[in-house]
Structure 1
Amino acid sequence: MKYLMAIFIFAALYSCQVKKDSKNKVSTGNDPGATLKYIHPASENIRLNQLGYFPKALKIATIVVNKEITTFSIIDLKTGEEVLNGKAEDKKEAQLSGETIQQLDFSALNKVGHYQIKCDNEIYSYPFKIGNDIYDKVLQSVAKSYYYQRVGTAITEEYGGLWKRKAGHPDHQVLFHPSTGKNGAIASAKGWYDAGDFGKYVTNGSFAAGQLLYTLEEYPDLYPDNSLNIPESGNDINDLLDEIKYEADWIATMQDRDGGVFHKLTTKSFADAIMPHEATEPRFIMPKSSVATFDFAAFMAKMARNYQKYDANLAKTWITQAQNAWHWGVQNPDVIFKNPSDVVTGEYGDDDSSQEQFWAASELYISTGKKQYLDFIQNNLPDLTYTYGDGWKSFMRYLGVFTLLSEKSDIPVRTLKELEKRLIVSADDLTKRIQTYDYQQGVNDFQWASNSDVQNIAFIIANAYSISDKQEYADAVYSSLNYLFGHNALGISMVTGVGSKSPMNIHHRASKSDSIKAPVPGFVCGGPNYGRQDSNDVEYPKNVSPMQAYRDVWKSYASNEVCLNWNSPTPYLLQFAIDNNRMH
C-alpha cells in the first residue's frame, strides 16, 4: 500500500515544473525519496534515461539544438558542484527524428548520486540518478500491471490502491458465436484484458504469459511470494507465477473437445470509454484457429512444467491438453481465423502457424521428452533473422529456441550448436543496428508497437549473451532500456508512472474512465508508429518524422495503447541488466 501511494505522489509531480530555488529542498523526478538542494528547471531538449544509469555503464544523452553547443557539465544536486566537464560531439542531422542533435558522453562519471546535465547554453536535463538500484521499483510496477488487467474480479484498494475498481465480465456464460458452428454457452472466466479494450485473445495471451514464464525460468528468484502484493501473496508460490496462473486458468477453458482451440473471446465491437463493469454487451467465443491452437499447446506445456511442484494433478491436466492441441494442429495446420462479418474487435490474424508450431514442439519436447517433438524441431530449425514487427505473429520461434538452449535436455549437440550459431548471427546484426541508430534504439522502421520491437530485439541480444558474453551485447541491452525510459526522440519515459515525464493519456479504458488523473502505473505504451492508423481521429504534426509519430492522447490507439505483450519482455530485460551490472 505504501508503495502504491508513493507511485501516485510521484505521478502527481510529473506535470509540475520544478522551481529553481537553492534555498528549498525538492525531490528529483526519478527518485521521490531523494531530497536535493540544487535542482534546476529541466528542458525537454535533453533526452536521457530518466531513471538513471549504473555506475560503470555507458552514459549517453542527446540534445536537440538549433545552435551547436561545445561543452557540457554534470551538476551534483546535493552540492551544486560541477563534478564532470565534457565536450559535446559534433552536431548531425537525425533523419528518423527530423532533428539536429548532438550527443553527450558522460560515461566517466561513476559516483553514486543525483545529477543534472548542464549545457553551455544554460539548459538542464531532467534530474537522474547514478546507482545500482535504478531499476528496482520499475521492476515491480511492470509486473504488477498484469494484476490491474484481471478479468472477472474486483481490483480492491488493498491490492490496487488508488486504481481500485469493480469487477467486470465474470464470463460464467459466454455464448458461442454462430460462426463456430456450435450452440449454447460455456464458462470461460478469469484471464487478463488484452490491451486497452476488454477482449481476451489466446494468441497474444499465450505469447505474453509464455515470455513471462521464460523470465521466471531464467530468474527463479525474481518476484518471490509477497513481492507484488496480489490476492495470492502469502501462499508460498512465486507471485508472478500466481499472476500467470490467473491467465492460464482462462486459456485452459478455450479448448474444444476435439483438441482445437478457439481464437478469442470478445464482444462484436469495441466498448466505449467506460469501466469494465459498465461494459455489459454480450461476449462470444469465436472460431478456432491453427495459430491459437499451437500457441495454446506451447504455453500450457510450459505452464505444466513450471507448476508441477505445486499441483501435480493440474499440471498433468494441462500437459494432456497441450498434447491434444498439438494433435489437432498437426491435422489442421491451415485453419486461419478471420473476424466474422458482424465482428470488428481485434483479429490477431495470422495465416502462418509454422512459428507457433515450432514453439509448441520445443515446449512439449522439454516437458515430455517424446521423440515426435524432437523430430519436428530437427526438421524445422527456424531462421532467426529479425524482421521489424516480429511481435505476437513471429516471435514465437525465438521463444522455442530460447527454451531449447536454456534447458539443453537431451537435445543433440549438433542441433544446439546450429541454434547457437543462428542466434549469434542475429544478435550481431541487431547489435550493429543499435550502435548505428541515433538514439541507440535498434529500430529504424517504426511500426505498430515499436516499443515492443525495441524490447524484443534486446531480448534476443540478452539471450545471445548467455552463449557469448560480449560486452557489446550487454551495452546494447542497456541502450535499449535507456531508450525506453527517456533517451528517445520524444524525451519521455514510455512506461506509465515511471520517470520525470511519461504517458498520461494512454488508450486504456479503465485509465480513461476512472476519476484518477494518473493512469494505471507500469504499462509500456506502444510508441511511435509511422503508420498512424488512427489519423482520422488523432491530429499528428504535419510531416511528422517516424520517431515522433506518437501522441499522448486517449484516442491514439496506434501509438498510445497498452498491451500484454508490450510489457512481457520488460521484467527479463530489467533483471538481465541488474544481474549484469552486479557481476561487473
Structure 2
Amino acid sequence: MSRFEQLETRTLFSVGTPSDLIIVDQFGWRANAPRKVAIFADPVNGQNSAGSYSLPVNAPFQVLRVSDDSVAHSGTVTQWKAGQTDAVSGDRVWYADFSSLTAPGDYYIYDSTNNRRSFPFKLDNLVFDSVLKTSLRTFFYQRAGTAIDAAHGINWTHAAGHVGPNQDHAARLWTGSNQGQPRDLWGGWYDAGDYNKYVPFTTSVMWNLLNAYEWNPAAYGDNTNIPESGNGVPDTLDEIKWELDWLLRMQNVNGSVLNRNANATYNAGNYDPSTDTQPRYYTQATTWATSSFIAAIAHGARVFENFDAQYPGYSTTLRMAAENAWNYLAATPNMTPASGTDGGGGGGSNGVSGGLAAAEASSDANGDRRLRVFAAAELYKTTGSATYKSYFEANYKNANTSDNGFHPLTDATPRFDSSVAADLNRAFVTYATTPGASATIVSEIKNALRNNITQSWLAVGEYTNQTDPYRSFMWDGHYTWGSNSLKSEWANILMYAVRLNVGTQLERDRAKEAAEEYLHYFHGRNPLSMVYLTNTGSIGAERSAMQPYHSWFGDGSPLYDGPSSTFGPPPGYLVGGPNQFFSVSTISPPRGEPPMKAFKDWNTSFPENSWEITEPAIYYQAAYSLLASHFTGAQFASVSNNKLTITGTFENDTISLGASGTDYTVTMNGQALSFAKASVNQIEVMALSGDDALSINAAITAPLTFTGGAGIDTVNVTGAGSVTFTTSQTIDALSISNSGVATLATGGGKVLVVSSLVLGASAKLGLTDNNLIVNYTSGSPRATIQSAINTARAGGAWNGFGLTSLAAQS
C-alpha cells in the first residue's frame, strides 16, 4: 500500500485487521444525517473477487472510537436481498446501520466474527466542508493563461500556458488552415485533461456552480487561497468570473459566440501547459454556442449584481452581452451552421478527420432548440422581460426540443433524466424559481419532479426498494464514459425537488436522504472502496484515485504521476468513473468487469485510452460540487456562540421558525433542522435577494433580528407564535394572525418600518417605547391603525388586542 493510501497518524488501532471489504465513506457522515450505513462486501465477481467475506445471520458489528477503541455503538448486520449476488456490482453485501449514533468523533467499524475493521471515518456536521473546498480548488488548477504559483498552488505549480506567439492572445480561425485576424482568447478553464476550451460545454458547469452558491451561500468563504481571496467576494464566484471573462472574449460584435478555442495536435508539451507551444485556434460562431453563452452569462449577471461594489458595472456588462447574443439568435432562428458543426473538425493528429485535436462540440437541431429555451429562461429570470418569458412559454414543450424521443414534460411518465434533455431540466428549474412564472407551467415542472421522488422505478423508489446494494441507484447502462457525472446529476435531480418544495415533507426528506447516499458512493462506499476524488489522503481518504488522465500531471510525470511521484496529482479531481463500454478489449480491468467495477486507476494515453475512465472534466467536477454543496455543514441555519443564524439564498425563500419540545425547528425551502433551545439566546434571520417569507408559528423566547434583502420580504406570526425584535426592522409586509404576538424590544430609538400591516382580531403588535412607520403607496392605513390602537387601549386598561405600546400606556 502506497504512502498516499496508508492510515493517517490519527488512526491508532489496536483492534482487528484492516479490510477494504468493510466499506465506508472514507470522509465520514454528517452527525445528524438521517441514515448512516456501512457495507460488508463479498466480491463474488470482478477484479477483486480473489477476496471473500462471509457473515452469519444477524452477525454483530460495532462502531469503535479511534481514540481508545471503546464501543460507541453495537448492532447486527442485515443481508441484502437474502444473499443474492448483484449483477451490477458483482457482490453479495450486508448492511451495518448505525444511524442512531450522532456523537461527533472519529470511528471505525469492527467485525468481531472475522476480527476485521474498516477504514476510519468521521461523524461531524462539517465533514464535507473540506471535501467541497478541495473539489472547488480544482477549477483554480484548471485556469488557462496564467501561472499557478507556489503561494497559491502549493506543491502543484506551472508557468503560464498558451500565452506565447500565435497562442491564446493571438489565436487564429481554423478552417483547415491558419486564417483570419488574431483574436485574444486567453483565460478561462481548460476543459478536462487536455488544454482545449469549449463554449458549449460550459452550460452545465456554470449553472451547477452558480446555483450551488445561490442555494447555499453560507457554504462559501473568501479564504481558499486563490489570488482573489480576501477581496470581499466568495472565492467560488471569483473562480466563476475567471471563466465568464473568457466567455466574454469569445463573443463577436454582432452577438454571436465562437464555438471552440483549441489545439491542432495532441503534442501538448511535457507535463506543464507552458511547454505546449503549438499555435492555438478558434472556430466559427455557432447558434448553440451562443445559447450556451447566454445561459451562463445571464445567470452570472444575476449573481454578480450583489457584488457591484467589488466589480463595478460587471453585472451590467454581462447582462448586455447576454441580450446582444439573444438579438443575434432572434435574427438567426435556425441552427447555424446547418451542419451542426463549426468547421473545425475533430481528431487532430491522432484522428481521421484532420481537424483540431479536440471534441467537435457539435449539435443537432433539437439540441440547438433546447439551448435556446434554456437561454430564454435565464434571461427571463435576470431581466423579467416579457420577450424571454414569451419565448420560453411558446417553446418549453415543443416536440422539436426532445432528445432521442424523450421530453421531461411530455413523456408518458413526466420526469427529469440526467442522461437526456438535461438542458431542459436546468431551464425548467430556472423558470420555476422566477417571480411571475406561469403557475400552470410551474405545476407541470413540479409534477414531473414529484415523479422522480415517488415513482417506484426511479431513484427514490429504487433506493427504498434497495435495488442497488450500494444505495445509489443508476441504471446499469449509465455506467458509461463519465458515469460519475451522470450519478451526480441523478442525485442533483432529487435535490431540485427538495429546493422547489415538491411533494410532501416526508417525500422531500426521503429524497434528500437518498441524494446524500449518492455522495457516499464517490467517497469510497462503492465496490472498489475507491474515493473517486484524486489524492485526498490529506483530508481523510485512505484509498483515492491517484492517476487521472491529464496532460499536466500525466503518465510519467516525476512530480505528479501517481503514488510513486513526489506529490501525486492535485487533490480533489473527480475522475470519469466506471465505464463498462471501455473501447480497448485487451485491457481488463476495466474491460469485462461488472458495470460498477469497470474501473482502473491509470493514465496511459493512446492506444490504451485511459481517458475513457480516469480523465476529469469541469462538467464532472461541477455536477459533483453541486451535490456536495447540499450537505456541507455550513447549512442555512447554524448556532455559534449561542446565536442561531438563518441565512437565506438568492432565490425566493420560504422560512418557518417553530418549536418542538426542547428544540427550535427551522425549515427553509422544504429542508428542516432542529436546535436545542438551551443553546440559543438570540436569533438572526438574514434574507438575501429574492422574495422571502418568514413564518413564526410558535413562542420564540430568544430575541430575533430580521435583516431583509433585495426583493419583497414578508413576516407572518401565526397561531400561538410570538417573537421579539431586538433592532429596528424594515419589512415589506408584517402579518400577525390568530393569537400571534410581535414585540419591539424596549430601549427606545428603534423603528418598525412596514409597507403593509395586517393584524388579526386576536393578534398583538407591541411597540413598547419605540416607533412605527407605515410606508404606504396608496390608500391611507390611518383608520386601520387608529382602530388597532383603540382595540388595544380597551377603554384605558391597555389589555386588548391590536397595536399597543408602553409609551401609549403612560
Percent of pairs identical after alignment? Answer: 26
Deviations, residues 275-328 of structure 1 (Å, cap 9, x unaligned): 101111111101332221111011111112222342453333322221232233
* 5+ residue gaps, structure 2: 43-51, 346-352, 398-406, 409-414, 605-609, 639-672, 675-810
What one-letter code is carried by the residue in structure 2 that aligns with 1:318? L
Q: Does 1:505 align with 2:535?
A: no
- 1:536 offset after TM fit, Å? 6.1
Q: What count of residue pairs does the alignment treat as equivalent? A: 554
Q: Distance in 2 between matches of 1:329 and 1:427?
A: 36
Correspondence for 1:461: 494
- 1:361 offset after TM fit, Å? 0.6
**60, 65, 74: which one aligns with 1:76:** 65
- 1:581 offset after TM fit, Å? 9.7
- 1:40 offset after TM fit, Å? 5.0
Q: Is residue 63–residue 74 contact of structure 2 (8 Å, CA) maintained in 1?
A: yes
Correspondence for 1:564: 618
Deviations, residues 517-548 of structure 1 (Å, cap 9, x unaligned): 32111111111011113x26854256311111
Correspondence for 1:430: 459
Q: Does 1:441 align with 2:430?
A: no
Q: Distance in 2 between matches of 1:317 and 1:489?
A: 48
Aligned ranges for residues 262-301 of structure 1 at < 5 Å?
Answer: 262-272=258-268, 274-301=271-298
Q: Is residue 443–residue 450 contact of structure 1 (8 Å, CA) maintained in 2?
A: no
TM-score normalised to structure 1 length: 0.89
**577, 599, 623: which one aligns with 1:527:** 577
Q: Distance in 2 between matches of 1:221 and 1:388?
A: 27
Q: Distance in 2 between matches of 1:581 and 1:525?
A: 32
- 1:264 offset after TM fit, Å? 0.8
Q: Does 1:515 align with 2:553?
A: no
Pick closer, same or farther for the CA change 1:38–1:303 going to 2, 3 Å: same
- 1:188 offset after TM fit, Å? 0.5
Pick closer, same or farther for the CA change 1:291–1:427 going to 2, 3 Å: farther
Q: Distance in 2 between matches of 1:536 and 1:543?
A: 8
Q: Distance in 2 between matches of 1:537 and 1:194?
A: 29
Correspondence for 1:165: 158
Q: Does 1:402 align with 2:429?
A: yes
SS at match of 1:284: strand
Deviations, residues 182-202 of structure 1 (Å, cap 9, x unaligned): 612100011000000000111
Q: Distance in 2 between matches of 1:56 and 1:577?
A: 11
Runs of 4+ in structure 1 over 6 Å off = none
Deviations, residues 482-538 of structure 1 (Å, cap 9, x unaligned): 1110111221111113311110000112222361332111111111011113x2685
What one-letter code is carried by the residue in structure 1 that aligns with 2:378? E
Q: Is residue 199–residue 292 contact of structure 2 (8 Å, CA) maintained in 1?
A: yes
- Greater RCO (Cα-Cα under 8 Å, separation 6 or more): 1
Correspondence for 2:534: 496
- 1:403 offset after TM fit, Å? 2.1
Aligned ranges for residues 45-64 of structure 1 at < 5 Å?
Answer: 45-57=21-33, 58-64=35-41
Correspondence for 2:209: 212
Q: Does 1:116 align with 2:108?
A: yes
Correspondence for 1:369: 384
Q: Distance in 2 between matches of 1:42 and 1:509?
A: 35
Q: Is residue 416–residue 425 contact of structure 2 (8 Å, CA) maintained in 1?
A: no
Which structure shows the bigger proportion of residues in helix conformation?
Answer: 1
Q: Does 1:86 align with 2:70?
A: no
Pick closer, same or farther for the CA change 1:514–1:201 going to 2, 3 Å: farther
Moved more, 167-176 or 410-419: 410-419
Q: Is residue 261–residue 292 contact of structure 1 (8 Å, CA) maintained in 2?
A: yes
Q: Distance in 1 between matches of 2:160 and 2:636?
A: 40
Pick closer, same or farther for the CA change 1:359–1:179 going to 2, 3 Å: farther
Q: Does 1:253 align with 2:238?
A: no
What one-letter code is carried by the residue in structure 2 that aligns with 1:411? A
Q: Distance in 1 between matches of 2:289 and 2:119?
A: 44
Pick closer, same or farther for the CA change 1:581–1:53 going to 2, 3 Å: farther
What one-letter code is carried by the residue in structure 1 that aligns with 2:529? G
What one-letter code is carried by the residue in structure 2 that aligns with 1:553? W
Q: Distance in 1 between matches of 2:63 and 2:418?
A: 36
Deviations, residues 227-263 of structure 1 (Å, cap 9, x unaligned): 2111111222221111111111111111223322211
SS at match of 2:118: coil
Pick closer, same or farther for the CA change 1:388–1:366 going to 2, 3 Å: closer
Moved more, 458-467 or 506-515: 506-515
Q: Does 1:419 align with 2:449?
A: no
Pick closer, same or farther for the CA change 1:307–1:55 going to 2, 3 Å: closer
Correspondence for 1:242: 238
Moved more, 520-529 or 344-353: 344-353
SS at match of 1:94: coil
Correspondence for 1:337: 341
- 1:411 offset after TM fit, Å? 1.4
Q: Is residue 256–residue 290 contact of structure 2 (8 Å, CA) maintained in 1?
A: yes
Q: Distance in 2 between matches of 1:541 and 1:560?
A: 11
Moved more, 180-189 or 62-71: 180-189
Aligned ranges for residues 170-181 of structure 1 at < 5 Å?
Answer: 170=163, 171-178=168-175
Which structure shows the bigger proportion of residues in strand conformation?
Answer: 2
What one-letter code is carried by the residue in structure 2 that aligns with 1:389? S
What one-letter code is carried by the residue in structure 2 that aligns with 1:483? Y
Deviations, residues 446-484 of structure 1 (Å, cap 9, x unaligned): 121111111111111112113134211111111011111
What one-letter code is carried by the residue in structure 2 that aligns with 1:432? G
Give the superposed CA RMSD.
2.4
SS at match of 1:163: coil
Q: Distance in 1 between matches of 2:177 and 2:255?
A: 14
SS at match of 1:116: strand
What one-letter code is carried by the residue in structure 1 that aligns with 2:147? A
Deviations, residues 45-103 of structure 1 (Å, cap 9, x unaligned): 12221111122321122222245303222222222223333222222211101222222
Q: Is residue 50–residue 500 contact of structure 1 (8 Å, CA) maintained in 2?
A: yes
Q: Is residue 195–residue 563 contact of structure 1 (8 Å, CA) maintained in 2?
A: yes
Q: Is residue 132–residue 581 contact of structure 1 (8 Å, CA) maintained in 2?
A: no
**541, 545, 551: which one aligns with 2:594:** 545
Q: Distance in 1 between matches of 2:573 and 2:118?
A: 24
Moved more, 148-157 or 283-292: 283-292
Q: Is residue 363–residue 403 contact of structure 1 (8 Å, CA) maintained in 2?
A: yes
Q: Distance in 1 between matches of 2:553 and 2:290?
A: 32
Correspondence for 2:725: none
Pick closer, same or farther for the CA change 1:580–1:547 going to 2, 3 Å: farther
**223, 230, 233: which one aligns with 2:226:** 230
Q: Does 1:480 align with 2:531?
A: no
**557, 560, 577: which one aligns with 2:631:** 577
Q: Does 1:198 align with 2:203?
A: no
